[in-house]
Structure 1
Amino acid sequence: MSNKNVTIFKNIGLGLVFLFGIISCEKDFEDIAVDLIDNKAFSVGDTLLEIISYNKNIISSRVDNNEAGKVPLSLLGVYQDKDFGYLKSALISQLSLPTLGVNFGDNAVIDLVVVDMPYLLKDTVVIKEITEDKDTIYENVKALDSIYGNRDREYNITVNELGTFLNTLDPLNPSKGMKYYSDKDYMIKDLLHHGSFKPNVNDTVLYVERKYLDDDPGTVDDIDTIKAEDLSPSIKFILDSNFFKNKFIDHQDSPVFDNNTSFNIYFRGLYIDANGVDGSIMNLTTTRAKMTIYYTNDIITNEGVDEDLNNNGINGEDDVVVKRKQTMHFSFGGVKTGKYIKDYNQPEIREALDFPNMDDGEQKLFIQGAAGSEAIIDLFPDELELEDLREKDWMINEANLTIYLDGDQKEIPSRLFLYNYAYGSMISDNYSFKFGPDVFGGVLEYDNNGKPEKYKFRITKYIKDILDKEDPKDPSILALKNFVNTDGFDPQVIDTIVRDYNWIPKGVVLKGNLPETDKERIKLEIYYSKSKLK
């Protein structure tokens, strides 16, 4: 056979595999079984299995960036949820030295010190105008993203010098990165900023008043207009200039500015905290966050023939002392972490988390990220029933775990994640090359009216392995959590460990396995084929 023919057959085969994959996603496997299996030899059927599900309080989430390839989003703000109670979060980060090092020059005077943290943005379509002919004209605009709660309510922000040194490596095991969890306490030192705050999509410009370009600091000599090239908005906190004069400028010749290691021991970072009864909480990426010192210093230069740079009435002088505007950036680098404080001030969720019914299960399941709560799921609580299922010797066509929302809810997760709680690992269907994350599911599904309805997981391979009569695998306890991007499977790395990161504060209340009369209770659906010849 020629290479050309081999290539054709390969392409046809790949096309058929792709087509079958599309069909299997769109059509119930029960129907596929009828189409593909000779019904003279096989019969098809389905069954519902009763399971046990209950709530689990998650005391803390991992919040550091010390693991390669796993970079969590930061969380900052305060949030009051009617189902899940109160959450506040602080953002903590070391700073990195400027690329060219620290040299403020002679007679440096600070004009302004500011922390700048870009918002997360999303594209959205809005109505620009309605014409005289009643035609609607739309336009694409940028909107703030990943902000939860009441955006119109102000709360307080404080920025302090961090007093705790942040380790990149674990002192007890230097071959591994240091893990930081959201319940860790930190020492804070000098207060650098205190003020009210609420998110503002129009916060795109910073004005820096320059008062030290002449001998009269009481007047504004110039104003710098600072904005991003793409005009994107950012959070800006003005810090205490006197602190940085004493801490940075007065020690600029010290070896503490020789490298980042020495610098992070000397100045350990910023502790940015939120306080208030209610407001909003937001995810941020600090990859472009920075602290900038705007200052003026003296430089020595030569005047041109027609120049009088020092305003002494004499042109063309050499070695003239002139004041110049300067800028120095310290990016958010090194270790970044955070601290969450939760208060389950709603009696229903507090009781569900403090006293879970692990024997009979629960009527409601509370799922929330950011050191919130998860649901524990036991698919086979009855060992005798499991043995009976194995003896049936079914060929498993599809197995689904379906979980319905408990009533109307807002700001719920767009995706949940089901994993092997007992081993802290992914379920085989999630990383199987035959199935994979897209088939595995967990994405929020909507009813015919466009209302959020349920989450569905296809765990066919996992159930097939457990019910294998000849070589069965032991079932394990599963858990349901809020999905974050560190939960995604990377086929290039082949890493099935589930990290305990979770920075999205959205929550959802789901129906549990009780009462048994509820048709929307959580359940395991199995579609199977059975040989008529046995």
Structure 2
Amino acid sequence: MKKTIKALKLSIVFLLFISSFIACDKDFNIIDSDVLGKGNANFLTSIDTISISAYNKTLNAVQINNLASNLLGVFDDPAYGLTTASIVTQVTPTTFSPNFGVTPVIDSVVISIPYYSTATGVDGDGNTIYTLDSLYGNPDADIKLSIYQNKYFLRDFDPNTTDNSAQNYYSNAGSGKNSALNGSSTINFDDHIGELLLEKEFKPSATAIITTTGTGDDEVKTRSVPALRVVLENNTFWETTIINKQDHPELSNANNFKNYFRGLYFKVEETVVGDGNLFLVNLASANANIAIYYTSGETDARTQSTYALNFSGNRLNTFINDYNKVTFPVPNKDLGDEKLYLKGAEGSMAIVDLFGNEDANSNNTPDELEDFLKDYRQTDDKGDFIMDNTTGNFVLKRLINEAHLEIYEDQDIELGTYDADFHKYDRIYAYDTKNNAPTLDYQIDPTENAQNAFSSKIISLSQRDTITGQYKIRLTEHLNNILLRDSIYNTQIGLVLSTNVNYTTNAQILNSTDNVTAIPASALITPRGTILHGSNPNEQNKSKKIRLKIFYTEPN
């Protein structure tokens, strides 16, 4: 089933704003063109198509701790196969050194973790109707959810470093187990389980949560956003673990508590082979907690109170990937690959060498880049590039008005039972692999939309064309930076699939064997994948090969 996100329809005001931005950009380029010399007249506008090399990089051992959001569930991608995502998280009391009163008795223990949802209307009684924003797979399928006490200590600092660096945990998705790497060893969380606190078949619901307090005339019902809300079954465990520790050092501060109670393990399994659903949860939400409801006091004056724990501290996703529908190729870095595989949740990415890798004269600069610099920069009588001593920039003989990567999805992907809109809300996030940062074009893109990531940064990172499956990645300023400031080693772009292009935090790659040392973490919190046409000459559909197109102006 397609991802349940509602696309933002651009208002007329917003469209006018975009038009004015483009117009201003055009005006700026014309003004810049006027100072290029040669009579300040008779300018030619033309198009360059640059030969690039685009190839695959399989992602292994990617940082999975302290993500902004976490995936939970089972998802069968029609082009790749099955991804299972579980969560291990520390928990922390919201208050310390509690006084539970006289003869406290637990009434219930409830876990609440909000989904990402959008209010889409009201019902006949005036109550808000919601849809879930990040639900993947079959929403009618059950998954098996087990919640265990976790007995593995998630430490904050890496003891193998001399500068107290933060401890990172890395994915181990090919192991077939809910495991992680810490840089020196492998942790299988099934080897560190404590008490079983819940086991049930489960599926997320977009229904609002209704909480009732009081009885009779004092009864009050409150409604809150949809959430994973379950009652834990073992009150005795929580009485022994929490209530009976009043006045003990375990409940006196966060460090003591995290060493004593090392957190929870949310383990997910499929109930039907090849079927299930997977969803995004917000453990960082102020409304994500474990609420222990208890009654205490003298016999004739019992009162109900709540002791809460939140999910602050270390938390991580574990992934198990069974990619039984695709085989990732050995990358061809010279000519590029025929197909490019973008897959989230420790999957695969594409690397684009903007000027290829061919270097016939062995001067550590690709031939295509040398030709590009000679075509666009002014040279003196000796053939050396001319630099403006005032600005420190090179003087140009061609002005780039627009440059973008033109990318096409392979629309022959077998979708199985998924509908034609399956890839409708996919976005391709492009980043500068040298600096592990968004491109300059992304940084100056004014179309950021904090409320709807699908409609954010649509100038630098286009939305997918629903008819042709085309994406455009704008690199105008990125190339200008190479031309003007000699950033010639900044010629590699990474491409990942993302459903939240606003999330620009990096996730480190453990022991990377090339110069790609990190990926945008947004590529980890989507289980989705797509396949693109590549750059290899053997690519069958020549018209849809990935290409770099440059629209430029030069004096005639």
Q: Does 1:167 align with 2:189?
A: no
Query: What is the CA-CA distance between 1:397 and the residue it aligns to?
Result: 2.0
Aligned to 1:271: 265
Contact residue 88 and residue 265 of structure 2 kept, 8 A: yes
Query: What is the CA-CA distance between 1:173 and the residue it aligns to?
Result: 5.1
Q: Deviations over 1:375-403 (max 9, x none)?
A: 11112113333322322233222211111
**1:466-477 equivalent positions in 2, closer than 5 A:** 466-467=482-483, 471=486, 473-477=488-492
Gaps of 5+ in 1: 1-16, 66-70, 130-137, 211-220, 300-309, 311-320, 490-496
Aligned to 1:147: 135
Distance 1:235 1:409 in 2: 27
Aligned to 2:202: 197
Q: Deviations over 1:356-389 (max 9, x none)?
A: 3333222222212222211111121133333223
Distance 1:60 1:472 in 2: 30
Distance 2:532 2:292 in 1: 49
Q: Which of the residues 518, 523, 533 maps onto 2:547?
A: 523
Q: Does the C-alpha gap of structure 1 residues 198 and 513 become closer, same or farther in structure 2, counting only changes over 3 Å?
A: same
Query: What is the CA-CA distance between 1:196 and the residue it aligns to?
Result: 0.5
Q: Which of the residues 278, 292, 302 maps onto 1:323?
A: 302
Q: Does 1:335 align with 2:359?
A: no
Q: Does the C-alpha gap of structure 1 residues 295 and 179 become closer, same or farther in structure 2, counting only changes over 3 Å?
A: same
Q: Deviations over 1:230-250 (max 9, x none)?
A: 432221232221211222223
Please, what is the CA RMSD of the aligned residues?
A: 3.7
Helix, strand or coil at the partner of 2:297: strand
Query: What is the CA-CA distance between 1:453 and the residue it aligns to?
Result: 2.5
Q: Which of the residues 235, 238, 246 maps onto 2:231?
A: 238
Helix, strand or coil at the partner of 1:486: coil
In structure 2, what residue type is equivalent to 1:480?
L
Helix, strand or coil at the partner of 2:480: helix
Q: Does the C-alpha gap of structure 1 residues 124 and 104 become closer, same or farther in structure 2, counting only changes over 3 Å?
A: same
**1:116-515 equivalent positions in 2, closer than 5 A:** 116-124=112-120, 141-171=129-159, 172=161, 176-183=165-172, 184=180, 185=187, 186=189, 187-202=192-207, 204-205=209-210, 229-239=222-232, 240-276=234-270, 277=273, 278-286=275-283, 287=285, 288-299=287-298, 322-346=301-325, 349-352=326-329, 355-381=330-356, 382=358, 383-393=366-376, 394-407=398-411, 410-411=422-423, 413-432=425-444, 438=457, 441-446=460-465, 451=467, 453-467=469-483, 471=486, 473-483=488-498, 484=500, 485-487=502-504, 499-500=520-521, 502-514=524-536, 515=539
Query: What is the CA-CA distance between 1:165 and the residue it aligns to?
Result: 1.4
Query: What is the CA-CA distance between 1:119 and the residue it aligns to?
Result: 1.7
Query: What is the CA-CA distance between 1:166 and the residue it aligns to?
Result: 1.9
Q: Does the C-alpha gap of structure 1 residues 91 and 395 become closer, same or farther in structure 2, counting only changes over 3 Å?
A: same
Query: What is the CA-CA distance between 1:252 and the residue it aligns to?
Result: 2.2
Deviates more, 1:47-56 or 1:279-288: 47-56
In structure 2, what residue type is equivalent to 1:369?
G
Q: Does the C-alpha gap of structure 1 residues 199 and 293 become closer, same or farther in structure 2, counting only changes over 3 Å?
A: same
Contact residue 108 and residue 298 of structure 1 kept, 8 A: yes
Gaps of 5+ in 2: 1-16, 173-179, 181-186, 359-365, 377-397, 412-419, 449-455, 507-517
Helix, strand or coil at the partner of 2:45: strand
Distance 1:196 1:182 in 2: 26
Distance 1:432 1:109 in 2: 58
Identity percentage of aligned residues: 28
Distance 2:505 2:447 in 1: 14
Contact residue 379 and residue 477 of structure 1 kept, 8 A: yes
Q: Does the C-alpha gap of structure 1 residues 112 and 207 become closer, same or farther in structure 2, counting only changes over 3 Å?
A: farther
Q: Deviations over 1:419-470 (max 9, x none)?
A: 1224423333333589999475213133xxx5362221111122234345x9
Query: What is the CA-CA distance between 1:498 and the residue it aligns to?
Result: 6.3
Q: Does the C-alpha gap of structure 1 residues 168 and 376 become closer, same or farther in structure 2, counting only changes over 3 Å?
A: same
In structure 2, what residue type is equivalent to 1:290?
N
Q: Does 1:82 align with 2:81?
A: no
Distance 2:278 2:542 in 1: 35
Aligned to 2:380: none
Distance 1:45 1:269 in 2: 61
Contact residue 52 and residue 352 of structure 2 kept, 8 A: yes
Higher Cα radius of gyration: 1
Q: Deviations over 1:295-343 (max 9, x none)?
A: 22233xxxxxxxxxx6xxxxxxxxxx54333322112222222211111
Q: Does the C-alpha gap of structure 1 residues 409 and 178 become closer, same or farther in structure 2, counting only changes over 3 Å?
A: same
Distance 1:414 1:518 in 2: 23
Q: Does the C-alpha gap of structure 1 residues 452 and 384 become closer, same or farther in structure 2, counting only changes over 3 Å?
A: closer
Contact residue 64 and residue 72 of structure 1 kept, 8 A: no
Query: What is the CA-CA distance between 1:24 and the residue it aligns to?
Result: 5.7
Query: What is the CA-CA distance between 1:520 and the residue it aligns to?
Result: 1.8
Distance 1:226 1:160 in 2: 33
Query: What is the CA-CA distance between 1:100 and the residue it aligns to?
Result: 5.9
Q: Deviations over 1:64-100 (max 9, x none)?
A: 33xxxxx511111111111121111112222221336
Helix, strand or coil at the partner of 1:165: coil
Contact residue 505 and residue 520 of structure 2 kept, 8 A: no
Q: Deviations over 1:458-505 (max 9, x none)?
A: 11122234345x94623532210123433179xxxxxxx965453122
Aligned to 2:395: none
Contact residue 380 and residue 475 of structure 1 kept, 8 A: no
Query: What is the CA-CA distance between 1:266 and the residue it aligns to?
Result: 0.5
Contact residue 113 and residue 238 of structure 1 kept, 8 A: yes
Query: What is the CA-CA distance between 1:18 and the residue it aligns to?
Result: 9.5
Contact residue 203 and residue 235 of structure 1 kept, 8 A: no
Aligned to 1:306: none
Helix, strand or coil at the partner of 1:519: helix
Contact residue 426 and residue 498 of structure 1 kept, 8 A: no
> Structure 2-normalised TM-score?
0.72
Query: What is the CA-CA distance between 1:140 and the residue it aligns to?
Result: 7.1
Q: Does the C-alpha gap of structure 1 residues 386 and 40 become closer, same or farther in structure 2, counting only changes over 3 Å?
A: same
Aligned to 2:383: none
Contact residue 55 and residue 332 of structure 2 kept, 8 A: yes
Q: Does the C-alpha gap of structure 1 residues 235 and 385 become closer, same or farther in structure 2, counting only changes over 3 Å?
A: closer
Contact residue 404 and residue 510 of structure 1 kept, 8 A: yes
Query: What is the CA-CA distance between 1:59 and the residue it aligns to?
Result: 1.6
